[in-house]
Amino acid sequence: MLLSSVSHDLRTPLASITGAVTTLLDQSAPLDEATRLDRMQSIREDADALERQVRNMLDLTRLESGTIRAVREMQSLAAIVGCALVTASAALADRPVQVHLAADLPLVHLDADLIARLLVNLLENACRHTPAGSPVRVATALHGNHLQLAVEDRGPGVPAGEREAICSKFQRGARSHTLSAGLGLAICRAIASLYGGAVHVEDRPGGGARFVVDLPDVAVLALPADPGGAAATGQRGAP
């Protein structure tokens, strides 16, 4: 069922790759250097899109089957966000990126790799559905030990009637014209649910969309005493 649902999205980049390679191999019509580089860049972009879709299918299958379980370890939120930005750097290359992390954020009790992956999917989603060069913002808020992560854009936004369904698998917004199987936001929701959390989308003040991840009971506000007897206490971040 999963493969059948995304077969078109798998065939499209494969067909494009095959066409570009065929052109490059055609000795009867030599290409100038600019055209040759353009075809090679096209192959790389389509291969990246194909890899991303296969990766998302495997991840969602593992999440839905229970193969991936919630792990809670003390992690630095700043490090998680930094890792996500590095991983998504290719998609973010032509965009101003703003990061709002409040000073003295406490540690969080999460799986760093999973939460970084969630943020990567939100960042890539923002890049796919907004004009090239438009800014993307990552922000955090902390209310007690309840953590909120947000990825904000300046795109067309998401109509109110689509906001609930858009995080379901195989769903794309009516305004979407991108090559995507509609799995990225479903993966975000599945990861958040491992920690009793949720993902929702709302309007961003001034225009655009704001994808918000709510994760309850994950912030370590008071750390155990160290061997010398001193205790470390995290400070509340600004909303």
Answer yes or no: do 48 and 165 share one domain.
Answer: no
Considering the domain boundaries, does residue 153 fall inside one?
yes
pLDDT in tens, 16-40: 899 999 989 888 888 889 998 999 9
Fill in the amino acid letter for 128.
R
Answer yes or no: do 61 and 77 share one domain.
Answer: no
As a whole number of angstroms, the distance between CA 40 and CA 57 comes to 26
As a whole number of angstroms, the distance between CA 46 and CA 78 comes to 32
Query: Which residues fall within 8 angstroms of residue 76, CB to CB, at 6 or more apart?
Result: 107, 108
Considering the domain boundaries, does residue 230 fall inside one?
no
Residue 98, φ and ψ in degrees, nearest 5: -110, 135
Considering the domain boundaries, does residue 28 fall inside one?
yes
Per-residue exposure over 115-131, b if at least 16 CB sit within 10 Å of its own CB, e if not: bbbbbbbbbbbbbbbbe
Answer yes or no: do 9 and 106 share one domain.
Answer: no
Considering the domain boundaries, does residue 54 fall inside one?
yes
How many structural domains is the chain composed of?
A: 2
Answer yes or no: do 84 and 170 share one domain.
Answer: yes
Name the band, by pLDDT with cuts 50, 70 and 90, for residue 6.
low
Considering the domain boundaries, does residue 226 fall inside one?
no
Considering the domain boundaries, does residue 10 fall inside one?
yes
pLDDT score recorded for residue 3: 55
Which of the 8 DSSP states describes residue 167? G
Name the band, by pLDDT with cuts 50, 70 and 90, for residue 9.
low
pLDDT score recorded for residue 51: 82
Answer yes or no: do 160 and 47 share one domain.
Answer: no
Query: Which residues fall within 8 angstroms of residue 6, CB to CB, at 6 or more apart?
Result: 53, 57, 170, 181, 183
Considering the domain boundaries, does residue 229 fall inside one?
no
* pTM, to two decimals: 0.73
As a whole number of angstroms, the distance between CA 21 and CA 47 comes to 12
Q: Higher model confidence: residue 125 or residue 70? A: 125
Query: Which residues fall within 8 angstroms of residue 89, CB to CB, at 6 or more apart?
Result: none
**Residue 12 maps to which CATH number?**
1.10.287.130
Domain with 213, as residue range(s), is 73-220
Q: Is 147 exposed, middle or buried (0-12, 13-18, 19+ CB in 10 A)?
A: buried
**Residue 149 maps to which CATH number?**
3.30.565.10
> At residue 176, does pLDDT exceed 70?
no
As a whole number of angstroms, the distance between CA 145 and CA 221 comes to 7
Considering the domain boundaries, does residue 144 fall inside one?
yes
- Cβ atoms of 224 and 235 within 8 Å: the answer is no
User: CA torsion angle for 55, 58, 64, 67 (degrees, to 10)?
Assistant: -110
Percentage with pLDDT > 70 across the chain = 81
